[in-house]
C-alpha cells in the first residue's frame, strides 16, 4: 500500500514542494537555510532526507510548531540565530518569513530618522557598507565615455 504524497505543504505562510526532501523544502522558507532545516528536522525526530509530502499530518504539525518556536529555545546557540541583540528587546531571536522584511525596513527607517551616516546613505541611494563608488554602482545606462564631436 503506497501512501499519498502531498504536493504542497504549507509551513510558515509558505507553500513548500512536497516532492522534495524535508531539509531542502524547509530551506525555501525565508530565514531558514539548509543547516537550520536539518537541525529543525532532527529536533522533531524526522529524517531530513525523507520527502516532505510523504510525512504524516502529525509530523507536519510538529515541524510547523518547531519552525514557529525555533528561536525561543535557550538550548540553541546564539550564533545560529539571525537577529542577535535585537534593538527593541535586546534578546537573541530568530526571524522567519515576512518578519525579516518588516524588521529590516524598520531598522532602515530608524537609521534615517536619527540621521545617522548609514541612514543618510540609504536616503540618497548610495552604497552603505563602505564599497567604492568612483567607478562602480552607477545607475545610468551609459556604458563608456563619449568623445566630443568636432
d(CA 92, CA 112): 24
My answer on whether 65 and 110 are in the same domain is no
Residue 35 lies in a domain: yes
Residue with cell 562602480: 136
Instruction: Tell me the whole-structure pTM to 2 decimals.
Output: 0.77
Q: Decide: 57 and 43 in contact? Cβ < 8 Å.
A: no
Residue 135 lies in a domain: no
Domains identified in the chain, total number: 2
Mean pLDDT of 83-110: 92
My answer on whether 12 and 73 are in the same domain is yes
Q: Which domain holds residue 33?
A: 8-78
Q: Decide: 81 and 94 in contact? Cβ < 8 Å.
A: yes
Tens digits of residue pLDDT in 40-86: 999 999 999 999 999 999 999 999 999 998 878 888 888 989 999 98
Res 112 pLDDT > 50: yes
Q: Which residues, at least 6 apart from 69, have a Cβ–Cβ distance to it below 8 Å?
A: none
CATH of the domain at 26: 1.10.8.50
d(CA 82, CA 70): 11
Is the pLDDT higher at 17 or at 2?
A: 17
d(CA 43, CA 37): 10
**C-alpha cell, 16:** 513548500
- The pLDDT mean for the chain works out to 89
Residue 147 lies in a domain: no
Residue 19 lies in a domain: yes
Amino acid at each position: 500500500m503506497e501512501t499519498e504524497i502531498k504536493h504542497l505543504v504549507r509551513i510558515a505562510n509558505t507553500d513548500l514542494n512536497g516532492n522534495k526532501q524535508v531539509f531542502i523544502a524547509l530551506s525555501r522558507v525565508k530565514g531558514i537555510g539548509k543547516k537550520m532545516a536539518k537541525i529543525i528536522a532532527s529536533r522533531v525526530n524526522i529524517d531530513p532526507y525523507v520527502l516532505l509530502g510523504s510525512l504524516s499530518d502529525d509530523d507536519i504539525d510538529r515541524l510547523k510548531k518547531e519552525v514557529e518556536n525555533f528561536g525561543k529555545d535557550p538550548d540553541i546557540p546564539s550564533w545560529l540565530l539571525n537577529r542577535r541583540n535585537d534593538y527593541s528587546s535586546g534578546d537573541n531571536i530568530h526571524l522567519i518569513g515576512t518578519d525579516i522584511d518588516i524588521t529590516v525596513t524598520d531598522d532602515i527607517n530608524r537609521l534615517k530618522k536619527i540621521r545617522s551616516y548609514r541612514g543618510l546613505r540609504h536616503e540618497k541611494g548610495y552604497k552603505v557598507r563602505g564599497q567604492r563608488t568612483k567607478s562602480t554602482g552607477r545607475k545610468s545606462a551609459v556604458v563608456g565615455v563619449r568623445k566630443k564631436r568636432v
